[in-house]
């Protein structure tokens, strides 16, 4: 296991009806801006529930900013930052999924980058901060979250991803100042999700675990066993929620699993490989494909293309997640051929699972062909994604080969 520090200050408040706790969690005298998305929070009544909880105690002044898009838009978030400075907001409350929470983290940072007159900095300065990952910013407004879709883990981490359509860029950022002060996880809130979003959430969490797990062994037993458990739970509960979307026990387990998948715990002290996500971001910005679907398109091809460098972990994955017998294929457990066969079987199991959930597993499923590949490679280059992977060995040629595999139907 590698050396590490682990720090996660997010208070998780989990359970049905826990939105009422906002009355205690948000400072009593705060000037609060509630941020939300395209309307689901309003439609489902969650926004009213949030406002009622805030009004039940203290002297808070409450403002609202709605309309944060799925794949939150840079320009929208700058408008929100203006609103923060105009109303002298000192607490942000995100009500929604990864897009709203990520967007709110960015608002928290950008709104704190003010000119002498108290106004938000220019678009160019904000863009510069984003392209350098926001790591050097030293101020942020406090924020909390009410999560309405289990998927990203944003509710318990300090990162986010922002989309800037005009520049065809979707870029990650991170800063410890934007760990939420708290996140409320009410599994009942997920019952209003369309099936597509539920399945997207399962897949996103699954791939988050894979990107922290599928590298090379460093004898990190806790991280490996946790990761494998999370994957097995996602397979079981992903199938269960598809069969019976009303089961609250399933919803509870899915919500906590997705949070655990990206709160830093399983990624401590181990190598990581975010290749699938980085290629996926380009697919979203060029072709407007849902985040999770870009991942299920790319991951099988990443596994196939990198099967040699990931061989040990792929075999471990085959045995511990898919219960494949890695000692007995053709009675030749150690031969390269039998290892390859087991690895291919584990990849096929992964694809079949994604397909069961109605997710695409290659470019063809997303109605794209080989002509999509070069523009994606060019965008990877433009965004300096030229040394991906746990060995930083995935250059543009490797990414091109991954995409070429994704253009084939297996």
Q: Between residues 142 and 340, which has the closer beta carbon with respect to ligand NZQ?
A: 142
Residue 224 contacts Zn ion per CB under 5 A: no
Q: How far is the CB of 408 from Zn ion (least distance, A)?
A: 24
Pair 407, 297: CB distance under 8 Å: no
Residue 153 contacts ligand NZQ per CB under 6 A: yes
Using CB under 6 A, which residues numbered 243 to 272 contact ligand NZQ?
262
Using CB under 6 A, which residues numbered 95 to 114 contact ligand NZQ?
96-100, 102
Pair 31, 60: CB distance under 8 Å: yes
Pair 256, 202: CB distance under 8 Å: no
Q: 151 touches which of ligand NZQ, Zn ion, none (CB within 5 to 8 A by kind)?
A: ligand NZQ
Using CB under 6 A, which residues numbered 351 to 410 contact ligand NZQ?
none
Q: Which residues contact 385 (CB under 8 A, 6 or more apart)?
A: 278, 279, 282, 399
For residue 369, the tally of other CB atoms under 10 A from its CB is 10
Q: Which of 277, 293, 304, 383 binds ligand NZQ (CB under 6 A)?
A: 277
Q: What is the CA radius of gyration of the chain?
A: 21
- For residue 32, list its beta bridge partners: 62, 91
Q: 99 touches which of Zn ion, ligand NZQ, none (CB within 5 to 8 A by kind)?
A: ligand NZQ
Residue 149 contacts ligand NZQ per CB under 6 A: yes
Q: How far is the CB of 219 from ligand NZQ (least distance, A)?
A: 27
Q: Quick one: which segment of 48-56, 196-204, 300-308, 327-335 binds ligand NZQ (CB under 6 A)?
A: 196-204
Q: Which of 146, 188, 148, 140 is nearest to 51 (CA)?
A: 146
34: left (phi over 0), alpha (psi -120 to 50) or beta: beta
Residue 204 contacts ligand NZQ per CB under 6 A: yes
Q: Between residues 158 and 350, which has the closer beta carbon with respect to ligand NZQ?
A: 158
Q: Which of 102, 155, 186, 204 binds Zn ion (CB under 5 A)?
A: 204
Residue 273 contacts Zn ion per CB under 5 A: no
Residue 37 contacts ligand NZQ per CB under 6 A: yes
Pair 203, 296: CB distance under 8 Å: yes
In the β-sheet with 142-147, what is the strand arrangement from edge to edge? 11-14, 182-185, 142-147, 91-96, 31-36, 61-65
Contacting residues toward Zn ion, per CB under 5 A: 204
């Amino acid at each position: 296991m590698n050396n590490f520090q682990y720090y996660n200050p997010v208070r998780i408040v989990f359970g049905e009806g826990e939105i009422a706790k906002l009355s205690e969690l948000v400072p009593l005298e705060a000037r609060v801006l509630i941020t939300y998305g395209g309307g689901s929070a309003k439609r489902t009544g969650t926004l009213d529930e949030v406002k009622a909880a805030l009004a039940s105690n203290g002297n808070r002044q409450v403002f609202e900013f709605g309309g944060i898009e799925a794949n939150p838009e840079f320009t929208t978030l700058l408008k929100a930052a203006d609103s923060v400075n105009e109303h002298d907001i000192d607490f942000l409350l995100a009500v929604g999924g990864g897009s709203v929470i990520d967007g709110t983290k960015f608002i928290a940072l950008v709104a704190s980058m003010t000119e002498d007159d108290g106004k938000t900095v220019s678009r160019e300065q904000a863009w510069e901060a984003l392209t350098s990952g926001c790591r050097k910013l030293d101020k942020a407004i406090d924020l909390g979250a009410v999560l309405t879709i289990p998927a990203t883990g944003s509710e318990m981490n300090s990162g986010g991803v922002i989309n800037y359509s005009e520049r065809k860029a979707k870029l990650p950022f991170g800063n410890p100042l934007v760990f939420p002060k708290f996140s409320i996880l009410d599994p009942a809130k997920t019952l209003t999700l369309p099936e597509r979003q539920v399945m997207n959430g399962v897949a996103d969490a699954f791939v988050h675990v894979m990107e922290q797990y599928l590298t090379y062994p460093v004898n990190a037993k806790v991280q490996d066993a946790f990761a494998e458990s999370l994957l097995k739970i996602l397979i079981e509960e992903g199938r269960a929620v598809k069969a019976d979307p009303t089961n609250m026990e399933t919803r509870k387990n899915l919500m906590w699993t997705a949070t655990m998948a990206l709160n830093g715990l399983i990624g401590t002290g181990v190598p990581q490989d975010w290749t699938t996500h980085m290629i996926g971001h380009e697919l979203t910005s060029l072709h407007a494909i849902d985040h999770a679907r870009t991942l299920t398109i790319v991951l099988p091809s990443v596994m196939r293309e990198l099967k040699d460098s990931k061989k040990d972990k792929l075999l471990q994955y085959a045995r511990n997640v898919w219960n494949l017998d890695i000692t007995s294929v053709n009675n030749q457990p150690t031969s390269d051929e039998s290892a390859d066969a087991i690895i291919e079987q584990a990849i096929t199991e992964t694809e079949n699972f994604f397909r069961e959930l109605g997710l695409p597993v290659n470019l063809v499923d997303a109605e794209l062909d080989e002509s999509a590949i070069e523009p994606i490679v060019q965008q990877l280059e433009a965004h300096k994604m030229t040394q991906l992977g746990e060995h930083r060995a995935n250059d543009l040629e490797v990414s091109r080969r991954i995409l070429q595999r994704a253009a084939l139907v297996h």
